[in-house]
Structure 1
């Protein structure tokens, strides 16, 4: 367990600097894991589902707003969504039609087991476990923006929005995406 504790400590340090840097450190292979390089390439598999498949419009209706998918969205550098994009994941961004400042960003990556383990360890150490996500899940609220992370192995799902002020606020989004990437998890209760 000493090695696992060290891995967790390293992962927490990486998460503190940038939550998404943990992906780089867990790619394994011959690279040093310190920084991404053009030759290292992504470690994730391409996520085939489209944004509207991952999160249908009816899943967003619970928020009492109409949302429009922003096809031109580029995630901010260093964010989990940006790292997921680098790993061949799918990044989706919706804006409320009546208030462009109300947005929901969802990103999904299909990652190797070691990467998922390192991410889970780092989030576990940070705290905020959410058993109602039916898979290993976490929630945090920073500067009014809620972030939900769920692991429907081999997928890492992360969602952010100002609408997510508590874990349950992100539940409809997490449930919708999880049911698409891992339908079997939807039928299995947590426990």
Structure 2
């Protein structure tokens, strides 16, 4: 009987020690909850990346001559007496002429009075970086034309599929487009005349 009492006393003591031991333990702290039940944490450095600014394109230098100076009426007449200025000319969206106008350049339209074929010339003075990009693009997509001039003073290109001409000098980007240009030589008199009229 005495032994049984000691056993009960020992068991009770161990139980008390176990309760005291558990009372001394604590769980890891949990983040504070918002009313919606979602846990919130403090923001840390580097969690958000500031937006990067789009690169700016330097605008071209405004062209100071007009269409009658770029190609004189006599230049047009010598090319074809049936071709004259097109009063309703508007550069087509996405065309080289439209790009020239958007970059402070000029675009000039002409019309064949018999066939109604159109012809346009444009001139711009892009920034050096944009001029180099345009030159590289023309070289990659068109055929070089040495008769327009000698590089680097003049670099000429022709695309027979579109009748599109691009001519580059160290400062200027001259373009011309027409179905009348079946080969590079068709536009050569006009191209040479326009180059001779470029501003210094």
Is the structural similarity TM-score above 0.5?
Answer: yes
Q: Which has the higher helix share?
A: 1
Unaligned runs of 5+ residues in structure 1 are 1-29, 34-39, 184-191
Higher relative contact order (CA 8 A, sep 6+): 1
Asked whether 1:141 is paired with 2:157, we answer no
Aligned to 1:122: 137
Distance in 2, Cα, partners of 1:162 & 1:127:
16
Asked whether 1:97 is paired with 2:116, we answer no
How many residues get paired? 144
Aligned to 2:93: 77
Question: Segments of 4+ in structure 1 off by > 4 A?
Answer: none
Aligned to 1:15: none
Distance in 1, Cα, partners of 2:54 & 2:145:
34
Alignment partner of 2:160: what SS? strand
Superposed CA deviations along residues 103-149 of structure 1, whole A, max 9, x for unmatched, are 2100100111111111111111224001111111100022xx41110
Q: Is the 8 A contact 2:65 2:199 kept in 1?
A: no
Aligned to 1:171: 188
Say what the alpha-carbon RMSD is for the aligned residues.
1.9
Distance in 1, Cα, partners of 2:143 & 2:122:
19
Distance in 2, Cα, partners of 1:52 & 1:182:
13
TM-score, length-normalised on structure 2?
A: 0.66
Q: Is the 8 A contact 1:90 1:108 kept in 2?
A: yes
